[in-house]
Structure 1
């Protein structure tokens, strides 16, 4: 299988939703998908009868799809934003390594 980067996915979704996607419409789809994740988790943890062929994997992919699509049509570089947000959280919660440090160590 081919490697997929977050940047690749953002470029693809920006193209896909360029003319027909609005942040509000994509957000409403995201909320739907989060509800579907909740349904699957309830089924998997026995709080709800398993009424369908529930797939946590598929529902999580849908959530990621819409989050990345919203970022893409708003020209947000998620890779940069995730790394920066993690640096801030690492300082706030006194955690080490941060994501940037982890990535450097991973490449060694």
Structure 2
């Protein structure tokens, strides 16, 4: 299967949600999906009985879907934003390498 990039996902979701969905509507779906992740984690960690709820994988995909959709309809380049945010976090928490440096090393191989 082809590897999916953030750019491709964002382009797809921007097309999918270009009409009819607002950031706040997508955010409400995101919150709902985060609640579903919490339910699955509670079941997996024994705090709740398993009710045949969907898998953690599927629920996390839903969370990513709606978070990326919100970024997409607001013209936020997530690849750029993630790298920039990680640079700041790496400085703040004195971590090395930062994501950009890690990607440079990975792409040499």
Shift of 1:87: 0.1
Q: Which residue is equivalent to 1:10?
A: 10
Q: Which moved more, 1:95-104 or 1:48-57?
A: 48-57
Aligned-pair distance for 1:53? Answer: 3.8
Gaps of 5+ in 2: none
RMSD: 0.6
**Contact residue 40 and residue 53 of structure 2 kept, 8 A:** no
2:72 maps to: 72
Aligned residues: 108
Shift of 1:52: 1.5
TM-score (norm 2): 0.97
Q: Which runs of 4+ in 1 moved over 4 A?
A: none
1:24-82 Cα deviation digits (max 9, x unpaired): 00000000000000000000000000011430000000000000000000000000000
Unaligned 5+ residue runs, structure 1?
A: none
TM-score normalised by length of structure 1? 0.98
Structure 1 CA distance, aligned partners of 2:48 and 2:87? 39
